[in-house]
Amino acid sequence: MTDIAWIDLALASARPKALGALLRYFRDLDTAEEAFQEACLRAIRTWPEKGPPRDPTAWLIFVGRNSGIDAVRKRSKLQALPDEDTISDTEDAESDIAERLDDSHYRDDILRLLFICCHPDLPATQQIALALRIVSGLSVPQIARAFLVSESAMEQRITRAKARVAKAGVPFETPSSEERAERLSIVSTMIYLIFNEGYSQADPRHEAAAFSDEAIRLARLMLRIFPAEPELMGLLALMLLQISRRPARFSAEDEIVLLEDQDRSLWNQLFINEALALLDKALRHRQPGPYQLQAAIAAVHSRAKRAEDTDWVEIDLLYRALERIQPSPVITLNRAVVISKLHGPEAALDLVDPLGEKLDGYFYYHGLRGNLLKQLGRHGQAREAFDRAIALAHSAAEAAHIRRQIDKMQQEAGQAAVK
- Residue-wise pLDDT for 367-416, tens only, equals 999 999 999 999 999 999 999 999 999 888 899 999 999 999 988 777 66
Statement: residue 210 has pLDDT above 90: no
| Domain around 42 | 14-77
In a domain, 107, yes or no: no
* Single residue among 287, 309, 326 that ends a domain in this structure: 326
Give the integer Cα–Cα distance in Å for 358 and 163.
Answer: 33
Within 10 angstroms of residue 393's Cβ, the number of other Cβ atoms is: 17
Residue 258 is assigned to a structural domain of this protein: no
Dihedral (Cα; 186, 138, 160, 220), 10-degree rounding: 10
- Beta carbons of 333 and 359 less than 8 angstroms apart: yes
pLDDT digits (tens, 9 = 90+) for 251-281: 888 889 999 999 999 999 999 999 999 999 9
Asked if the structure places residue 93 within a domain, the reply is no
Contact 312, 341 (CB under 8 A): yes
Helix 151-168 to helix 124-134 angle (10° resolution) is: 100
pLDDT in tens, 229-249: 999 999 999 999 999 999 999
Q: Is residue 151 part of a domain?
A: no
Alpha-carbon distance of 184 to 218, in angstroms, equals 12
CB contact at 8 A, 128 and 193? yes
Task: Determine the pLDDT at residue 401.
Answer: 93
Residues in Cβ contact with 71 at an 8 Å cutoff, skipping those fewer than 6 apart: 31, 34, 35, 38
- Residue 103: exposure state from Cβ atoms within 10 A (0-12, 13-18, ≥19): exposed
Residue 309 lies in a domain: yes
pLDDT digits (tens, 9 = 90+) for 150-192: 889 999 999 888 888 877 766 655 566 676 677 788 788 888 8
pLDDT at 3 over 70: no
The whole-number pLDDT of residue 82 equals 42
In a domain, 288, yes or no: yes
Q: Judge whether 68 lies within some domain.
A: yes
Residue 224: Cβ within 10 Å count: 11
**Any domain includes 390:** no
Single out the residue in 326, 347, 367 at which a domain terminates.
326
Which of residues 293, 326, 359 is at a domain's end?
326
* pLDDT average, residue stretch 278-297: 96
Q: What is Dmax (Cα atoms) for the chain? A: 93
Secondary structure (3-state) at 381? helix
Q: What are phi and psi of 250, to 5 degrees?
A: -135, 145
Q: Could you give the number of structural domains in the chain? A: 2
